[in-house]
Structure 1
Amino acid sequence: MVAIDGLTDLWETLLSAQPDPPPLLVLLTGLVALVVVSTRVPWRIGRNAITIAHEGGHALAALLTGRRLHGIRLHSDTSGLTLSAGRPTGPGMVLTLLAGYVAPPLVGLAGAWILGGNRITLLLWIAVALLLAMLIMIRNVFGVLSLLVTGGIVLAVSWYTSPEVQAAFAYTGVWFLLLGGIRPVAELQRLRARGRMPASDADQLAGITPFPPFFWVTLFALVNLVVLVTGALLLAGPILTEAGITV
């Protein structure tokens, strides 16, 4: 358990850097995340975290582009819906629609950057703060429960576990966000090909731009692949350093 006396100690705890993680931990957590993304039941459970990041991306983009955010719904089938009001076309709507599928790996990239400075506790508390901020806009019971459970787990790990457990949890989570951005894009195109997602983000983007849905699916995939490689290089820093490789 983390022992903290006063705001000064809390601030020092959040900003202090933990020791470099063992390269084996970085490798194993990446493999664990890959297994979760690749297997059916673990993915079905873990995908809720991807949906949270996806809808959070829509919501943040809507706010940053001046749209009025009405609410977010998270569903038990791992789907979600973000409602905003404003111009139905234009850059704001394009960015809002575009943000969903690229948000999980971009969040993972930000996490990888923070982990690059070994500020593991800070990363976990930022995650809790973002989940609490998103909770304000949730408009259904499952969404509230999903965020409370996710945030509770992250907070418990940051408060009650050892630095080693925190490191393993943080690295697994960041790897999962980076890797977990790829599979939904593949699922999107597969469902679109079967005519089962006529109102997908890609199709909506096609409706307000000159580009077809497949262009947007391809863009999602390319962005997420580039972010995955960049994040992986950041996370693999300890492994590369031990091997004497400078990137």
Structure 2
Amino acid sequence: MSIDSLTDLRDQLFGAQPDPPFLLVLITALLALAVIFVRVTWRVGRNAITIAHEGGHALAAVLTGRRLTGIKLHSDTSGLTLSAGRPTGPGMTFTLLAGYVAPSLIGLLGAWLLAGNRITLLLWITVAALLAMLIMIRNVYGIVSILVTGAVVFGVSWYAEPEVQAAFAYTGVWFLLIGGVRPVFELQSMRSWGRMPQSDADQLAGITRVPAIFWVGVFLVVNLAALAAGLLLLAGGYLPEITLN
């Protein structure tokens, strides 16, 4: 690869794209809402939330010094992350805590990149993160899920026009920000029916002696705060323009 090609690649990756029109930001937010609140599309889209959820567990385990042994993703949109280490203590607490807040926090990071118009960089970071996660996947459905997701993101980042990249990136970030909230309500609903006795919140309660409902509240507060911050990053710059118009 020539120096000029490397320079072009660097500029494409780290260069800022033009500001998208407010209509695109609005339409992508509405599209993400539709995917989240329509049962059929949520059943498919929730796989992305699961990937982010289990990725959060995995990253937290590594950062706290636990030994990550594997990740499984299932067709019912459930997942499992296995790590070795002390069954109690800060490392295990942080690892359990990370799952339900990961989609929203990843969405917030994405919103920050989009606020700086780093659309291509966001897409490439996503591909890199998926490839890193792929190494630890331990079941066929999980491998296929990661490969398909990564291929779609890479295809958009490499072949699509800037307008399409922007629409794709904004939809994805809105989906993580808004979609990260819904599983918390699903979690509490299933807990109230006794269908998730070993949920992350219940495991946190077991090792911290703090009631599970407290941890459900923590998940919700963090995710709502991330949504509010993401909203300001993605749409805040358009408020003066909307007011003047």
Taking structure 2 as the reference length, the TM-score comes to: 0.97
Counterpart of 1:30? Answer: 29
Structure 1 counterpart of 2:223, which letter?
N
Distance 1:126 1:162 in 2: 18
Distance 1:30 1:208 in 2: 38
Structure 1 counterpart of 2:57, which letter?
H
- Please state whether the residue corresponding to 1:43 is helix, strand or coil: helix
1:90 CA displacement:
0.5
Distance 1:244 1:7 in 2: 43
Distance 1:158 1:54 in 2: 23
Structure 2 counterpart of 1:237, which letter?
G
Matched, 1:169 2:173: no
Distance 2:9 2:147 in 1: 23
Deviations 1:127-172 (A, max 9, x none): 0000000000000000000000000000111111110000000000
Note the aligned Cα RMSD (angstroms).
1.2
Distance 1:30 1:169 in 2: 11
Aligned length: 242
- Please state whether the residue corresponding to 2:70 is helix, strand or coil: strand
State whether residues 21 and 238 of structure 1, in contact with CA within 8 Å, keep that contact through their aligned partners in structure 2: no
Deviations 1:3-40 (A, max 9, x none): x9622211111011110000010011001001111110
Distance 1:237 1:190 in 2: 33
Matched, 1:158 2:157: yes
Counterpart of 1:126? Answer: 125
Counterpart of 2:5? Answer: 6
Ranges of 4+ aligned residues in structure 1 off by more than 3 Å? none
Distance 1:191 1:140 in 2: 26
1:241 CA displacement:
4.0
Structure 2 counterpart of 1:66, which letter?
G
State whether residues 20 and 238 of structure 1, in contact with CA within 8 Å, keep that contact through their aligned partners in structure 2: no
Deviations 1:100-139 (A, max 9, x none): 0000000000000000110101110110000000000000
Counterpart of 2:211? Answer: 212
Distance 2:180 2:238 in 1: 23
Q: Percent identity?
A: 73
State whether residues 22 and 238 of structure 1, in contact with CA within 8 Å, keep that contact through their aligned partners in structure 2: no
Structure 2 counterpart of 1:83, which letter?
L
Matched, 1:237 2:236: yes
Distance 1:127 1:26 in 2: 20
Distance 2:46 2:4 in 1: 37
Distance 2:4 2:77 in 1: 40
Matched, 1:70 2:69: yes
Deviations 1:28-67 (A, max 9, x none): 1001001111110000000000000000000000000000
Gaps of 5+ in 1: none
Matched, 1:196 2:195: yes
Matched, 1:20 2:26: no
Counterpart of 1:110? Answer: 109
Taking structure 1 as the reference length, the TM-score comes to: 0.96
Structure 1 counterpart of 2:97, which letter?
L
Counterpart of 1:184? Answer: 183
1:238 CA displacement:
3.9
Deviations 1:54-107 (A, max 9, x none): 000000000000000000000000000000010110000000000000000000
Gaps of 5+ in 2: none
Distance 1:239 1:79 in 2: 37
State whether residues 116 and 237 of structure 1, in contact with CA within 8 Å, keep that contact through their aligned partners in structure 2: no
Structure 1 counterpart of 2:92, which letter?
M
